[in-house]
Amino acid sequence: MVQITLPDGQIRAFDAAPTGLALAEGIGKGLAKAAVAMRVDGVLMDLTRTIERDAQVAIVTREQPAALEILRHDAAHVLAEAAKELYPDVQVTIGPAIENGFYYDFARDTPFTPDDLARMEERMREIVDRDEAIVREVWDRHEAIAYFKSIGEHYKAQIIEELPADDVITIYRQGNFVDLCRGPHLPSTGRLGKAFKLMKLAGAYWRGDHRNAQLQRVYGTAWASDKDLKAYLTQLEEAEKRDHRRLGREMGLFHQQEEAAGMIFWHPKGWRLYRTLESWLRGRLDAAGYVEVKTPQLVDRKLWEASGHWEKFRENMYIAENEAGVKAYAEDPRERIFALKPMNCPCHVQIFNQGLKSYRELPLRLAEFGSCHRFEPGGALHGIMRVRNFVQDDAHIFCTEDQIISESTAFCALLLGVYRDLGFADVFVKLADRPPQRHGSDAVWDKAEAALKAACEASGLPYVLNPGEGAFYGPKLEFTLRDTIGRDWQCGTLQVDFVMPERLGAWYVAEDGQKHHPVMLHRAILGSFERFIGILIEHYAGRLPLWLAPTQAVVATITSDADAYAGEVAALLRARGMRVDADRRNEKINYKVREHSLAKVPVLVVVGKREAEERTVSLRRLGRPDQETLPLADALAALAAEARVPEGGEGAPAAAAA
């Protein structure tokens, strides 16, 4: 006798242990049809398994979020079955469910082609039509290893060999396809449905390690219904429309070309946007007690050796020398040679080191919009988001150990204010604490980690721990923001550094009259201007807030009767600090509206004969079909007020004065 308690409290009794399927059938046909798996005392299980003991059981249906992962995992298995049928020489490895879909990694000498992708997808649909039963079996470990080896599935055999000794080895069989898997799975392939699509081919390393063999990964997406699949594909199209590379071109912001791969040619409009962001942020830093500096691009190897970069990161550094220098260096590696800076910190320490510092001068916050060059691997480059030359909104705070907490708190407040004003309210933090290999005493680490935690708490920032992921030189906070379409971007960082000041000989004289090394806080809010502007473009889909928009308004005429007036209106707006163009071309107003809308100009000031005579303007906002007509003076005042940069009251740290 088995008693099963359903989620609504109903209890059902069975003489013999029923399967989940039987239970679902008993409750209702509709439920049985939509069933994907079941939860037995909270544990997800196959519907084909029997419920042996009294338990709380809930049937998971395909509409529920938990079902998606099972569907996607099944899709991966069906893909693997299809691949094995079509290409007997493939070896299967792993195939998990992922966000929005699944993938499967195959080992095969001949690469898959896009045609293979189409064939596999077609075969997958056939397998769904076959409605093969998916059967769970428990196997002996040695038998399983021997079996997979015997059919040439060496990766699978290896996976089983490396499973913990007490793990139960479960095998799932569907048709002729047998795979090691933890489950749970659907009762049969037919239940997968056909709301899936194979998306792309990619290379991926076995176990994610580039020293291992490269496998062929097939990505797919899978959903509970065709409607969901379609919605997802539409969403992908929408995301493509906000791609910063496309918008950057359409809005005339920048371009890139192969003679300077990984670098950016900023056009007038793009540079206007860049400068607006830069000068606004500079104001914030000034108000927060930072002092701005500028340090050399090209620095002697000796400094990079002292900082440790030459040893660890030389492969990613650009050597910049004249011919004689390169020749001398080739003949004698002790010769002087220069490298472009990949980071600003060693240079900032040089400024700190000029003149002996007193504890009274701390904290000293040295800020620099520092242009850095890093030789990033070709495959990593991505538009203006991942480049080889970028400008960090960098600063280094030299302080005492006791000041870490107040400085970190002030920084969190500053950062949150900046993000908020730029339109990002959704921010989370990861605290990366001490790694196994590290520098500095446990007591100092305790203090620094506690300070970072306290700073998060004081700023109302929830943090998650990222254990052991701190740098060898100190713990760090990593600030991630979420954009309108739910993507996460790690931008800000705050790193405590106990090592660099020591390596580069930074000292201050404390109250006790003794020399001590200061603590260095490396910090950035945007991370890099280039990447952040890319994020802004995608976040706003090009429709930047008025204060950031490179062209804030275009005064467009309807007929040439309004030409003189349009010039006057544009000049008046410019006199109020706005970035304005006048469009007096002999084109229809429809044409102008369309063109400036596509160029994402936030405000269109339309003037015709009537406006010129009445000294009014007609305002049309980007993306809105309506318009308002108002007296020129009112419009000037309103637009100028609206275009003002955010003051960021609550974001600015009160404790700014140093």
Partner RNA sequence: GCCGACGUAGCUCAGGGGUAGAGCAACUGAUUCGUAAUCAGUAGGUCCGCGGUUCAAAUCCGCGCGUCGGCACCA
Reply yes or no on whether 302 is catalytic.
no
- State in Å, rounded, how far the first CA of the chain is from the last one: 76
Reply yes or no on whether 345 is catalytic.
yes
CB atoms within 10 A of CB 577: 12
Q: What are phi and psi of 211, to 5 degrees?
A: -85, -15
Residues 315-334 that bind RNA (CB under 7 A): 316-317
Q: Is 235 in the site for RNA (CB under 7 A)?
A: no
- 285 and 292 Cβ atoms separated by less than 8 Å: yes
CA dist 563 and 626 (Å) reads 23
CB atoms within 10 A of CB 227: 10
- 56 and 149 Cβ atoms separated by less than 8 Å: no
Pure H helices in 288-333? 301-307, 309-313, 323-331
User: In whole angstroms, how large is the CA radius of gyration of the chain?
Assistant: 31
CA dist 62 and 35 (Å) reads 6
Identify the active-site residue in 476, 523, 531, 539: 476
Nearest residue to 616 (alpha-carbon basis) of 625, 624, 605, 626: 605
Reply yes or no on whether 109 is catalytic.
no
Contact letters for RNA, residues 29-58 (x by CB under 7 A)? ------------------------------
Identify the active-site residue in 269, 374, 592, 600: 374
DSSP tag of 493? E
Residue among 135, 458, 622, 640 that touches RNA (CB under 7 A): 622
Reply yes or no on whether 394 is catalytic.
yes
> C-beta of 61: minimal distance to RNA in Å?
30
Per CB under 7 A, which region of 38-46, 555-563, 566-574, 630-638 contacts RNA?
555-563
Number of residues that bind RNA (CB under 7 A): 67
Closer by beta carbon to RNA, 21 or else 603? 603
Amino acid occupying residue 626: D
CA dist 608 and 563 (Å) reads 9
Residues 189-228 that bind RNA (CB under 7 A): 200-205, 208-210, 214, 216-217, 219
Closer by beta carbon to RNA, 484 or else 560? 560
Question: Rounded to the nearest 10 degrees, how much is the dihedral formed by the CA atoms of 436, 439, 443, 447?
Answer: -90
Per CB under 7 A, which region of 2-10, 151-159, 433-441, 554-562 contacts RNA?
554-562
Closer by beta carbon to RNA, 234 or else 629? 629
Characterize the bridge pairing of strands 101-107 and 97-98.
Answer: antiparallel
Closer by beta carbon to RNA, 466 or else 597? 597
Q: Which residue has the tokens 């090009």?
A: 542
> C-beta of 236: minimal distance to RNA in Å?
10
Q: Is 187 in the site for RNA (CB under 7 A)?
A: no
The residues facing 159 across adjacent strands are none
Contact letters for RNA, residues 257-276 (x by CB under 7 A)? -x--xx--------------
Reply yes or no on whether 522 is catalytic.
yes
Identify the active-site residue in 396, 453, 517, 531: 396
Q: Is 623 in the site for RNA (CB under 7 A)?
A: yes
Pure H helices in 185-262? 226-241, 244-250
Residue among 9, 65, 88, 379 that touches RNA (CB under 7 A): 379
231 CB contacts (<8 Å, ≥6 apart)? none
Chain center to CA of 440 = 32
Closer by beta carbon to RNA, 460 or else 625? 625
375 CB contacts (<8 Å, ≥6 apart)? 315, 316, 317, 318, 388
CA dist 421 and 445 (Å) reads 33
Closer by beta carbon to RNA, 3 or else 559? 559
Length of the chain: 658
CB atoms within 10 A of CB 22: 17
Per CB under 7 A, which region of 39-47, 185-193, 226-234, 309-317 contacts RNA?
309-317
Characterize the bridge pairing of strands 43-45 and 35-40.
Answer: antiparallel
> C-beta of 618: minimal distance to RNA in Å?
3
Residue among 12, 149, 173, 245 that touches RNA (CB under 7 A): 245
Per CB under 7 A, which region of 84-92, 294-302, 376-384, 422-430 contacts RNA?
376-384
Reply yes or no on whether 372 is catalytic.
no
Closer by beta carbon to RNA, 132 or else 538? 538
Reply yes or no on whether 374 is catalytic.
yes
207 exposed, middle or buried (CB, 10 Å; 0-12, 13-18, 19+)?
middle
Residues 102-121 that bind RNA (CB under 7 A): 111, 113-114
Amino acid occupying residue 656: A
> C-beta of 113: minimal distance to RNA in Å?
5
> C-beta of 525: minimal distance to RNA in Å?
15
Closer by beta carbon to RNA, 114 or else 268? 114
Closer by beta carbon to RNA, 34 or else 606? 606
Contact footprint for RNA (CB under 7 A): 111, 113-114, 200-205, 208-210, 214, 216-217, 219, 245, 249, 256, 258, 261-262, 309, 312-313, 316-317, 342-343, 374, 376-383, 386, 471, 558-561, 586-591, 593-594, 597-598, 604, 606, 608-611, 618, 620, 622-623, 625, 627, 629
Catalytic residues: 345, 374, 392, 394, 396, 476, 522
